[in-house]
Amino acid sequence: MKDKEIIDLVEKEVETLCSLLNVDCQRECTVEEGEEGIKYIKVSFDGENLGYMIGNHGRHLDSLQFILQVILGRKFEPDFNFRVFVDVGGYRKDKDAQLEEMAIQKADDVRILGEEIELPAMKPSDRRIIHLALMKFSDIDTESRGEGLDRHIVIKPVK
């Protein structure tokens, strides 16, 4: 499936979803090629008074992203490998930047102390941001520990 066809389908479904939710805002859809042939579909909403789409700590945003992932999953071929990322007013972009900054600060602490540091429990998407942010450092290693809602990242020095 070509990127133009994907964008047209996504825009149609986003338009329907916005109509059902009575949301009037600007929207932008893009498609990026990821590792191993996965397509990253990014949908950005921008406008006035969209805080309710973000919700408390981004919960509505996560739900909106999940709903859109399910809707599009039913529209695409079964073997089409994709992930949907939704952002409202730059909230997710800012939050990801804050997570990366915090991860780098904690990695510096690990270097200074020479011992591992445990971060608080996080949802999988936040843990992924931290793993990716610290992957570029050869003297730092990360791993996820725990189960379910207690799953967290440990940043440790490479010995």
State the residue for tokens 């579909």: 41
73/123 same-domain check: no
Which residues touch 32 (CB under 8 Å, ≥6 apart)? 39, 40, 42
Helix then strand then coil, in percent of the chain rounded to 5, is 50, 25, 25
The whole-number pLDDT of residue 130 equals: 96
The whole-number pLDDT of residue 63 equals: 94
The whole-number pLDDT of residue 159 equals: 80
Q: Is residue 32 classed exposed, middle or buried when 0-12, 13-18 and 19+ CB atoms within 10 A define those classes? A: exposed
8/82 same-domain check: yes
User: 89, 122, 141: which is the final residue of a domain?
Assistant: 89
What CATH number is given to the structural domain containing 17?
A: 3.30.300.20
14/77 same-domain check: yes
152/118 same-domain check: yes
85/98 same-domain check: no
43/63 same-domain check: yes
Give the strand order in the sheet containing 82-88.
26-33, 39-46, 82-88
65/111 same-domain check: no
The whole-number pLDDT of residue 147 equals: 95
Alpha-carbon distances of 27 from 10, 23, 139, 150, rounded to whole Å: 11, 11, 41, 35
User: 89, 107, 140: which is the final residue of a domain?
Assistant: 89
Query: Residue 136 belongs to what domain range?
Result: 94-157
100/45 same-domain check: no
pLDDT tens track, the chain, 159 positions: 788 999 999 999 999 999 998 888 999 999 999 888 899 999 999 998 889 999 998 999 999 999 999 999 999 988 899 999 999 999 999 999 999 999 999 999 999 999 999 999 999 989 999 999 999 999 999 999 999 999 999 999 998
The whole-number pLDDT of residue 49 equals: 87
